[in-house]
Structure 1
Amino acid sequence: MSKELLQIQDASLANRIQLWRRVKDVIFIGIGVVMASIGLKGFLLPNDFFDGGAMGMALLLEIVTPLDLSPLIILVNLPFIYLGYKQLSLRFALKSTLAILALALLVHYIELPVITADKLLIAVFGGFFLGTGIGFAIRGGAVIDGTEVLAISVSRRSSLTVGDFITVFNVFLFIVAAWLVNLETAMYSMLTYFSASRMVDFLINGVEEYLGVMIVSEQSDTIKEKITYDLGRGVTAFKADGGFGEKAKNPDRNVLFCVVTRLEVTRVLTEIEKIDPKAFVIQYPIKDTKGGMIKKRPLH
């Protein structure tokens, strides 16, 4: 009887979590579509600026062809959506399709006043709004710019990383833009791309990037207590053997692991050095975390 009750409670909890996840996805994608529309209609389109990636391709085609941007956004992203379906999932492809259709409709029907004629402000704030839109859409499990999907596919078949491919892709895009339009517009549009990419990174990774800290020390118990009780961060202790010299003769030792933000890591390192100046400490970036005794990242 208790087992059946536990199963019912687990199913109910799982359903609530799934429902809340879907609600958050819809909210994030909706915000993303609106913000990207503001960037396009309020800044980039009235001034013939463009961006990198699939959106940059659509904007460039809109400048050099008589076609409207709305159908171009859909047409350019269709191959990326198909790749997303093949490489990721049907749900991802459906969510991305709906997000791109919503963006195309907003771009076609809404009218915004031209906010500024200053080219530098257009490049920076156009990228800000467009990057915010792309970042929120990604947080919602969809894309409104499908270049990263193509990059993932290429990286699986070659030695290029995702970042390498996106960089190469955009270099060629801006070269074509400089040739078809003019060099000045291409240069300002590069600023738009850099602004947009920074906003995407900010929304996905957060202002406080997490770092994994691994500590090898003879004073591991004291360090663990310091981090746990004084700094209020969780620590995991791994049983380990020494691998070389005298330390290899002491198999009973702990290697500590904790996760802190970049803003907190200096204090952690200071406390470790106070206890054991010879401690071996490794730091490496972590993309995301969930649970445990860490500071919650916004938008989770």
Structure 2
Amino acid sequence: MKKIREDLDMTFWDVLISVGYITAGAALYAIAVNSFVVPNDFGSGGVTGISILLYYVFKIEIGTMNFIINSILLLLGWRFLEKKTLIFTAYAMTMLSIFINHLRLPAFHSDNSLLTAIAAGCLIGVALGLMLRGNGSSAGTDIIAMMMRKYLGISFSAGVMICDFVILSASVYIIGLEKLIVTMILTFVLGRMLAYMTEGLNPRKSVMIISNQHEKIAQEIATTIDRGITVFHAHGYYSQLEKQVLYVVVNNHQIIHLQKLINDIDPIAFVTVSDVHQVLGQGFSLYSYADKKRKIKKLTNS
């Protein structure tokens, strides 16, 4: 037990939060499979997709087969995962298998199969996002992709895509072409929702401003928008003149106000606006392991 605590390098509350994320994600994933995917004869990618196909053909419990296949892959690829991720991934696949076998809710049916597929994709995407936020991983084809990257030189994303393509292609002989097309839509929605959960849960805009009126602009931003500003010292390559570059991150609804503010002060200011998928830090994060550790260290040293 002591060795596990050392491998995790987390406080008790951090571990509890991770376990909560993973447990909630596993339960939501099981609901999606049992209430949306299987009752409507859809397929899926990854190890769960293989387990679902085997269930359709041989009526083997999905959770049981999911656990067996993931356990084999975890034993083969344990060296590719850091110890913290390995521990939480083992917990995630165990809870997922238990929930799939035992968490049964009424099946969802609709005359519009696309509606069902979109709902299933959203649920699974959120579920995987929660498990990843809990420091776990979906194991399965992720490990195969890591092995392909190491031994075949194939990128991780390409490896995952190849695995899912093979599984989905094989499913056409079991669920038919129409269901396969709907399953591909489900997979696309899943991917977008997962990206939103892991990268875009806290979307913002980053703005870089180059202006001779930088001091006045910075003062107005601090006063009226109440956002922190970073100043970079730079110089123009052609003019060789010293420049002050302002960098600020704002909420999406603040960008119009910021642009108007800059234009009123300096209409010829050079401004770039970029999408920021995720912002962590003071003023933006609801919870951060790093912030928590810094606070604990500060209290310990005081």
Range of TM-score over shorter length: 0.7 to 0.9
Specify the code of the residue in structure 2 equivalent to 1:229: T
The verdict on how the C-alpha distance between 1:238 and 1:228 changes in structure 2, with shifts beyond 3 A counting, is: same
Using the alignment, how far apart are the partners of 1:238 and 1:158 within structure 2? 43
Task: Give 2:274's aligned amino acid.
Answer: Y
Residue matched to 1:220: 214
1:265 aligns with 2:258: no
In the alignment, what sits opposite 1:141? 135
Distance 1:227 1:158 in 2: 51
Q: Deviations over 1:222-277 (max 9, x none)?
A: 22112222111111001222221x3x1x23x3111112233433332332233223
Query: What is the identity, as a one-letter code, of the residue corresponding to 1:100?
Result: M
Distance in 1 of aligned mates of 2:29 and 2:213: 52
Q: How many residues align?
A: 279
Q: Is the 8 A contact 1:84 1:93 kept in 2?
A: no
Say which of 230, 241, 245 aligns to 2:224: 230
Match of 1:279 among 250, 262, 269: 269
Q: Which moved more, 1:198-207 or 1:219-228?
A: 198-207
Task: State the 1:151 CA deviation.
Answer: 4.4
Alpha-carbon deviation of 1:187? 1.0
2:49 aligns with 56
- Helix, strand or coil at the partner of 2:274: strand
Local SS of the residue matching 1:288: coil
**Partners of 1:296 and 1:192 in 2: CA distance:** 30
Find the partner of 1:174 among 168, 177, 180.
Answer: 168
**How much has 1:96 moved relative to structure 2?**
0.7
CA distance in 1, matches of 2:86, 2:32: 24
Give how far 1:148 is off. 4.3
AA aligned opposite 2:198: I
Task: Write out per-residue CA displacement over residues 148-176 of structure 1, whole angstroms, 9 at most, x where no aligned residue.
Answer: 45546656778865544444443343322
Of 7, 13, 21, the match for 1:28: 21
1:16-38 CA distance string (max 9 Å, x none): x8333222111111110111111
Q: Say which of 97, 122, 126 aligns to 1:104.
A: 97
Is there any run of 5+ residues in structure 1 with no aligned partner, and where?
1-16
1:68-217 → structure 2 map (5 Å cutoff)? 68-78=61-71, 81=74, 85-118=78-111, 119-144=113-138, 146-148=140-142, 150-151=144-145, 162-217=156-211
For residues 33 and 200 of structure 2, the distance between their equivalents in structure 1, rounded to whole angstroms, comes to 24
Distance (whole Å) between structure 2 residues aligned to residue 283 and residue 155 of structure 1:
35
Instruction: Output the amino acid matched with 1:53.
Output: G
* 1:101 CA displacement: 0.7
Change over 3 Å in CA distance of 1:179–1:282 after alignment to 2: farther
Distance in 1 separating the partners of 2:217 and 2:110: 57
- Aligned CA distance change for structure 1 residues 181 and 131 (closer, same or farther; 3 Å): same
Q: Structure 2: which 5+ runs fail to align? A: 1-9, 290-302
